[in-house]
Structure 1
Amino acid sequence: MSVNQQTVEETKAQIRGLVNEIAALAKSGATAEEFYPELLSRIITALAAAGGAIWLLDDDKQLKLQYQINAEPAILVEDTEDSVRHSRLISRVANAGQSLLVPPYSGTTDGDAQGNPTRYLLVLGALTHDGHNDGLIEVFQRPDTAPETQRGYLRFLEQMCSLAAEWLRSQKLRSLGDRQTLWQQADSFARAAHESLDLKETAYVVANEGRRLIGCDRVSVAIKKGRKCKVESISGQDTIENRSNIVAALNNLATRVCAAGEPLYHDGATEDLPPQIEEALEDYVDQSYGRNIAVLPLREPMRKLGAEEDTGAAGEIDRDNAHRGEVIGALIVEQIETDIPREIFRQRCDLVYEHGTRAIANSQSHSNLFMMPVWRSLGRATWILRARTLPKTLAVVGLVLIVALGLTFIQKDFNLSAEGTLEPTVRRQIFASVDGEVVDVLVKRNDVVKEGQLLVQLRNPDIDIQLEDLQGQISTTSAELAKVIGQQRISRREIDRADLLALQGQEGELRTKLESLGKKLELQMKRREELEVRSPINGVITTFDVENTLRSRPIMTGQVLLEVADLDQPYELKIQLPEKREGHLDQFIKQENISDELKVTYIMQLDPTMDPLEATLPIENISPRAEAHDEHGAVIEMEAIPSAESLQKMAPPPGSSVLAKIHCGRRASGFVFFHEIWEWLCKFFF
C-alpha cells in the first residue's frame, strides 16, 4: 500500500469516527449548549473546513445564530450590505429546506439582492424533519477543490444535518412535554389562586402553589398596608413569626422595592442598585443565604374607563396598562441553589405574577368592602331559611324563645359564694414572755391540757447568771450590814457621837441596798418562772407539729409558740366575701330593709358531699371595710354563728375550710346564672 493510499484510509477512518461520535451525540440527552459546539467542531474537522455556523428558525421564521466557529466577520455585523445579502441567502435556503453549494462572491443584483459575499465556498445543509424546516448548518470551505469533492462535502453535511435534525426533533418533543406539564401546573395554579376571595387564603395559595410552579426554594407574598409591606404568607410555613429578624428584613426589603415601583432581580451583583434597596437587600441576603432573589411589586390591574356598561361593575382590564396600577404588595421568589436557566426562571416568575397579582387584587377589593365579614356571615346563614330547613329553624327559634322567657320569669335563689373557716370562739395564742431557747416540748397536737399545765420549758442563761449575781450581792450586803450593827453594839459607849451617827448612816444605806437587791431578785425569779410556758385555759392543742417546730429553737419575746382552743365552747364561722360581690349584698339588705341577720348555708371542704349546714350572719358582724387578701385581692370579713346542733355531730377540727353561701333572696334565673359573665363584659368594654 502506498503512502497516499494509507493516508486516505486513515482519513476515512478518522471521518467515520467523527460521524459515529456525532451520531452518539445526537442520540444523547445533551443540552443545546453542549450539542452545538460538539457538532459543529466535528463537522469542521471532518471536512477540514475553515469555519461554520448553526442557524435556527424562530417562531417568526427568522434565522437566529446559535453557534459559530471562525465565521466570516462581514456577515456577522448587522445592517451592512454583506450581512443583509447573506441573511437573505440563508433565509431562502432554510425556508426552502434544500441544501445548497454557493460559490464565493456570488449572488443576484435585483431589488432583494442575496448571495455569498465571502471568499469561501458556502456549504449549506438544511435542517428538516417530518416536513418541518428548522434552520441550516453553514460551512465555510476552501473554494479550490474539484466539483466532485464539493458535492461530497454537501452529501456529508446533509447526513450530519439529518442526525442533527433527529436531535432537534427529540428536543422539541421534550420541550412540548415540558410545556404541556407547565401548562397543566399553570392551570392548576390559576384555579387554586382564584378559588377563594379571602386575602390570607389567596396569599397562602399563591406562595405555596407558586413555589411548585416555579420550582424554586421559597416564595413569599407581602401585602402593602399604608406605606409599609407586611409578609402575609411564606411557602411551607403555616404561621409567620413577625418578630423574627429574617421576616423583619423581608418586610423592609419588600417595602423599599414597592416604594421604588420597579422589579428587582438579584443574582449577586448590587452595583447598580439604589443605596436604600442595596442596604435592605444585603441585610436580607445575610440572613436568608439566597442566591437568586426576585422581588416583583404587585400592581392592581387598571380598568378601562367607561367599560362598566358592557362588562359590569368590575370593568374590563386595560391590557396595555395592566401593570401600571397602584402597588398593593410584592411577590418575593428565592432560590438558594439553582439549576434553572435565567430565562425559564423569569418566565415562570412572570407566570406566577400574572395570576397572583390579579387574584390578590380581587381578594383585597372583596375584603375591603364595607362590613364584608357581616355580609359574608349573613350570606352563609341564608340556608336556615330554605324550605327544607325552615321547620327546624322555627323549632330552634321557638326553643330559644322559651329558654329566654324561662330565664327571665322563673325565679331562683340568689346566693353569694364565699370561702371561710370554722374557728372556736374560745381559743388562746400563747406568746413567749421572755427571750430564751426551747429545752423541752411537753405536748403535741390534739393533746388535751388543763389550765396552768406546763407546755413548753425554756432556758435563758442570762437570767441564771443575773440570779447568781444578785444572790451574791445580797449575801455580801447582809454581811456588811451585820458587821455595822455589831460595831454599833460594841462601841456604843466607847466612840463619840459623830462616829456613831456615821455607823447609823452606813446601816441605813446597807438596808436600802439590801431591799433593792431583794426586789431585783424577786423580778428575776418571776422571769425564770416565765420560762415555764403554761396553758391559760382548759382545751386542746391546735398547733401543727409542735415538737418539731419548737424544739431547740431560739425564741424572741412576743413570739407565738402554740395555740390552745376550748372545743367544748361554741364555734364561729369566719367568712371572706370577695369585694366584687359586696354590691349585691348591700343592695339586698337595703331593698329588704334587713336589720338583724342573714341566712347562711355552708359545706365542709373536707367532705363536699355532705348535706349543707346552717348558720346566721348578724348584720353588725359584717366588716364596714375591705381587707387585703392574697388570693381574692380584697375581701369583706364576716363572722357568722353556726348551728350548734349540726356541729355537735361533725366535731370539725379548728380552722376547717368551708364553702359558704349567703342567701340574698330570689332573682330571675338568667341573672342568677349569668350575672358574673355580664359584669365581666361590662368591665372588659368599659
Structure 2
Amino acid sequence: MSTEESVDPELIEQTKQQIRSLVREIAQIAKTDIAPQEFYDAVLNRVVTALAAVGGAIWTVNEAGQLALEYQINLRETRLAESEENQIKHGRLLRKVIDSGEGTLIGPQSGSGNEEDGANPTDYLLVMGPLKTARETAGVMEIFQRPGRNVTVQRGYLRFLLQMCELASEYLKSRKLQHFTDRQALWAQLEQFTRLVHQGLNPRETAYTIANEGRRLIECDRVSVATCQGRKTKIVAISGQDTFDKRSNTVTLLTHLAKAVVATGETVWYTGDTSNMAPQVEEAVQSYVDEVHSKAVAIVPLKEPHDENDPLARPKVVGALIIEQIEDSRPREGLPQRIEIVSNHSALALTNVQEHNDLFLMPVWRTIGKSRWLVEARQLPWTATACIALLAVLLFLFLWPANFELSADGKLRPTVRQHVFAALDGDDVSEVFVEHGQMVKKGDPLLQMENSTLERQIAEAQGNLAEAIDQRRGIKAQLEKKGGLESSEEFQLIGRERGLEKQIISTRSQLQLLQKQRERLLVTSPIDGEVITWKPREMLINRPVKTGQLLLTVVKPDGEWELELHMSEDDMGYVAEAQAEFGPELPVDYVLLMRPGVTHSGTVREVHHTAEVRGEEGNTVLVEVAIDKNDLKVRQDGAVVKAQVYCGRSSIGYAWFHDLISFVQEKWFQFF
C-alpha cells in the first residue's frame, strides 16, 4: 500500500536555499582564524539546524589519545550520562569511526553485533562523520536525528554531514599548519631567549634580559624580576624600563607582593579572585592591583635546581617572576606553558649568576682578568710609570707627617644664658612686655599668663574664708550674750568656733599659696641681659602654655662667649687619647660661617660624659670650647661654626682617611 504526500514546491525551494546559505556560512567560517571552541559552536549549530536534528556533538582526540567532548547540543536528551555501560558502547562506536575514517549511520538501539565495535544505546539515529587532518582522523562530528525516515533520506543526512566534515577538516588542517608555524616561531624565540639569558654572569644584565626577552616570549604586557638575598627581596628589572624609581609606590607594593609570595614558595595566579590565597598574599595582591589596575597577575617563585645528592632538600628561592596582563584577564593559549619555560630558564640563570658573584673577592678577580693588557709590551712603559706614581703616592700618605685634627660642627653661644620656662599651665599668654633684642634687668616682667582654673580656685577660697569669718563672728556674738544658753549649747558653740578658727587658718594658707601661684603667672627675667627669642609676641600671644614649656631665652651678651661643638661619637676615642697625652685643654681652630675667611683659636674647656642623638648628626658628644670674645667683631648667638680639634701628629694618610680606616676595622671585627 502506498501513499502520496503533496509537498509545496516553493517550501522545498526555500528550504534548499536555507541549507545552501548555511553551507556557505560554514565554508566561510572554516577559512577564518577563530578559536576552535567558537568554530565548533558555529558549525554544529548550523549543521543541526540544516538537518532539523535534535542535537549533536563534536569529539576530538587529545594529545593523550583520549576522546574529548569539545561541543554539544542537547547531549542530555540521549541519556548517555545515565549509564556507564551505554557510555562505553558509545565510546567504542566513536573509536570505530576514528579508526576507519569513514562516516556511518547507526539506528536506534542497534549495533554491528560485535561488542568491540560498540553500539548505539540511544533512541535516536546517529549520523557520524570523521574530522580529518592530513594524515589522521582528529575527531568525529555526531548528529542525533529523529528515527523513522526512509533509507534514502538517512543517506542524504550522511552525505550532507560528510560534506560539512570536509569543510571542518579544512579548518583543522589550517589550524594545525598554523600551530606548526607558531611552534616553529616559538622554538626560535625560545632559542634566542635561552642563548641571551645564559650568555652573561652580570646580575643586572641578566635580570633585564629575563624581563625584556621573557615578555616577548610570554607575549604579555609586563614582566618584572625580583631577586632574593637572604631575607631581602627587591625588584631589579621591569620590562621596557631601563631605570625606575625603587622608592615609588608601585615598586614598593610590587616588592611587598614578591616578598609575600616568595615566603610561601608557591606560584600565585590572580585573575580577579583572591578567596583561595593566603591572607598576607591576598592583602599584597589587592594593594598592588588597586595601584596599577592590572587585570591578571602571575607571581612565580624562581627556585634553584634540585640537588640530586639530596632529593629531600628544599630548593632555595633565588627570585621571583611577575607577569602582568593590564587590559585582558583571559589567559592566552599556551600561556602557562610559556611561563613555565621562562621561569625554569630564569631560575637557572639567576642561580648561576648568584653563585658566580658570591665567590670570594669576585670583583677583584674579575678586574684582574680584564687587566692583562696592562702587562703587554706596548703598554708596559705606561704601566710601570703608573705603578711608580702609585708607589710615590702611597709613600707620601704613609710617611709624610701632618696635624691630626678632628672636624666638628657647632654654634657660638654666650656663656651666661638662661632659658625661661613656664612655671605652671596657662590658658593663654595675655601680654608680652618685651621684644627681640630688648635689654632687661633681673626681675623685669617678660610676659603675663592667664589661668582661669587658678582664678576660680582663688575666688572659691576667698568666698570660703569670708563665710567662715562671718560664721565665727555670729558665734562670738551668741557667746558674749550668754543669756538663755544652756551649758550644752554653750559647749557646742565653743566647739564650732574652734573648728571655724582652724578652717579660717587653713583657708588663708591655701589662699596665700594660690596667690603665690598667681604671682608666678607674671614671668620675670632671671638675669640681666638681652632677650634673644625671635618675635616673642607673635610666637606666644594668646597661645596656651604647659608647665615646663620654653618661653623665652635671655643671654648676657657682654659676658664671656663659648663654642658648643657636637663631636661625633666615633671620634671621641681620639679626643680622649689626645687629652691623656697633651692635657684636657686641647687647641681648637674654628671659623664662623658668616666670616669663613677668618680663623680663630680656642681651647677645649669641658667634654660631656654622655652621647646624645641630635637629628641627622646621629650620636654626638657635646664639647665646650673656651674662646676670646675680643677676637670676634660680630657675636651672634647660635652662629654656625666649623671647628677642628687638634689631637696630635700622624701620617697625612691617616689624618685624611682615619674614618675609612675605622670603618674597615669595624667591619673586619664584625665579620671576622
Q: Report the TM-score range of the alignment, normalised by the length of the smaller protein.
A: 0.5 to 0.7
Distance, in Å, in 2 between the alignment partners of 1:362 and 1:625 is 56
SS at match of 1:270: coil
Distance, in Å, in 1 between the alignment partners of 2:128 and 2:35 is 23
Q: Which residue does the alignment assign to 1:363? A: 353
Instruction: Give 1:291 shift.
Output: 0.9
Cα distance change on mapping 1:401 and 1:48 into 2, 3 Å? closer
Q: Which residue does the alignment assign to 1:628? A: 591
Cα distance change on mapping 1:25 and 1:627 into 2, 3 Å? closer
- 2:136 maps to which of 132, 135, 139: 132
Distance, in Å, in 2 between the alignment partners of 1:408 and 1:160 is 90
Q: Which AA in structure 2 matches 1:680?
A: W
Distance, in Å, in 2 between the alignment partners of 1:167 and 1:401 is 75
Distance, in Å, in 1 between the alignment partners of 2:395 and 2:17 is 112
Instruction: Give 1:101 shift.
Output: 1.1
| Aligned: 1:260 with 2:259 | no
Aligned residues: 426
Distance, in Å, in 1 between the alignment partners of 2:60 and 2:138 is 6
Cα distance change on mapping 1:409 and 1:371 into 2, 3 Å? closer
Cα distance change on mapping 1:239 and 1:356 into 2, 3 Å? same
- 2:365 maps to which of 353, 357, 375: 375
1:168-183 superposed matches below 5 A = 168-183=172-187
SS at match of 1:98: coil
Q: Which residue does the alignment assign to 1:160? A: 164
SS at match of 1:392: coil
Cα distance change on mapping 1:116 and 1:683 into 2, 3 Å? same
Q: Which residue does the alignment assign to 1:144? A: 148
Say whether the 8 Å CA contact 1:74–1:82 is kept in structure 2. no
For residues 572-616 of structure 1, the C-alpha deviation after alignment (integer angstroms, 9 at most, x for no partner) is: xxxxxxxxxxxxxxxxxxxxxxxxxxxxxxxxxxxxxxxxxxxxx
Instruction: Give 1:181 shift.
Output: 1.8
Q: Which residue does the alignment assign to 1:59? A: 63
1:428-439 superposed matches below 5 A = none
Q: Which has the larger radius of gyration?
A: 1
Q: Which residue does the alignment assign to 1:224? A: 228
Distance, in Å, in 2 between the alignment partners of 1:298 and 1:407 is 48
Q: Which residue does the alignment assign to 1:303? A: 307
Instruction: Give 1:184 shift.
Output: 1.5
Distance, in Å, in 2 between the alignment partners of 1:339 and 1:381 is 52
Q: Which AA in structure 2 matches 1:184?
A: A
Cα distance change on mapping 1:78 and 1:56 into 2, 3 Å? farther
- 1:394 maps to which of 380, 383, 396: 380
Q: Which residue does the alignment assign to 2:342? A: 352
SS at match of 1:685: helix
- 1:236 maps to which of 195, 215, 240: 240
SS at match of 2:105: strand
| Aligned: 1:685 with 2:652 | no
Instruction: Give 1:634 shift.
Output: 7.6
Q: Which residue does the alignment assign to 1:335? A: 325
Cα distance change on mapping 1:633 and 1:115 into 2, 3 Å? farther
Distance, in Å, in 1 between the alignment partners of 2:378 and 2:93 is 84
Cα distance change on mapping 1:245 and 1:150 into 2, 3 Å? same
For residues 425-444 of structure 1, the C-alpha deviation after alignment (integer angstroms, 9 at most, x for no partner) is: xxxxxxxxxxxxxxxxxxxx
Distance, in Å, in 2 between the alignment partners of 1:19 and 1:408 is 92
Distance, in Å, in 2 between the alignment partners of 1:283 and 1:384 is 54
SS at match of 1:43: helix
Instruction: Give 1:393 shift.
Output: 4.5
Cα distance change on mapping 1:187 and 1:625 into 2, 3 Å? closer
| Aligned: 1:23 with 2:27 | yes
Q: Which AA in structure 1 matches 2:371?
A: A
Q: Which AA in structure 1 matches 2:53?
A: A
Say whether the 8 Å CA contact 1:626–1:634 is kept in structure 2. no
| Aligned: 1:93 with 2:93 | no
| Aligned: 1:44 with 2:48 | yes
Greater CA deviation, 289-298 or 5-14?
Answer: 5-14
Distance, in Å, in 1 between the alignment partners of 2:386 and 2:303 is 49
- 2:81 maps to which of 68, 72, 77: 77
Say whether the 8 Å CA contact 2:98–2:137 is kept in structure 1. yes
Q: Which residue does the alignment assign to 1:121? A: 125
Distance, in Å, in 2 between the alignment partners of 1:259 and 1:177 is 40
Instruction: Give 1:137 shift.
Output: 0.6
List gaps (5 residues or longer) in structure 2: 403-586, 602-650, 663-672
1:522-537 superposed matches below 5 A = none
1:285-300 superposed matches below 5 A = 285-300=289-304
Distance, in Å, in 2 between the alignment partners of 1:261 and 1:405 is 53
Q: Which AA in structure 1 matches 2:380?
A: L
SS at match of 1:152: helix
Say whether the 8 Å CA contact 1:56–1:134 is kept in structure 2. yes
For residues 107-165 of structure 1, the C-alpha deviation after alignment (integer angstroms, 9 at most, x for no partner) is: 35666461111111111111124333221110111221111111111111111111111
Cα distance change on mapping 1:291 and 1:31 into 2, 3 Å? same
TM-score (norm 2): 0.58
Q: Which residue does the alignment assign to 2:607? A: none
SS at match of 1:77: helix
1:468-479 superposed matches below 5 A = none
Q: Which AA in structure 1 matches 2:282?
A: E
* Sequence identity percentage: 44
TM-score (norm 1): 0.57
Q: Which AA in structure 2 matches 1:280?
A: A
Say whether the 8 Å CA contact 2:26–2:167 is kept in structure 1. yes
Cα distance change on mapping 1:191 and 1:392 into 2, 3 Å? same
Instruction: Give 1:342 shift.
Output: 4.9
Instruction: Give 1:297 shift.
Output: 1.1
Say whether the 8 Å CA contact 2:221–2:325 is kept in structure 1. yes
Distance, in Å, in 2 between the alignment partners of 1:271 and 1:407 is 67
Distance, in Å, in 2 between the alignment partners of 1:407 and 1:395 is 18
Distance, in Å, in 2 between the alignment partners of 1:405 and 1:343 is 66
Cα distance change on mapping 1:342 and 1:29 into 2, 3 Å? closer
Distance, in Å, in 2 between the alignment partners of 1:114 and 1:301 is 49
For residues 29-75 of structure 1, the C-alpha deviation after alignment (integer angstroms, 9 at most, x for no partner) is: 33223211111111111111111111112223322111111124567
SS at match of 1:298: strand
Distance, in Å, in 1 between the alignment partners of 2:379 and 2:187 is 47
Say whether the 8 Å CA contact 2:134–2:173 is kept in structure 1. no
SS at match of 2:378: helix
Q: Which AA in structure 1 matches 2:66?
A: Q
- 2:216 maps to which of 212, 227, 251: 212
| Aligned: 1:196 with 2:159 | no
Q: Which residue does the alignment assign to 1:311? A: none
Say whether the 8 Å CA contact 2:80–2:122 is kept in structure 1. no
Instruction: Give 1:405 shift.
Output: 7.7
Cα distance change on mapping 1:46 and 1:403 into 2, 3 Å? closer
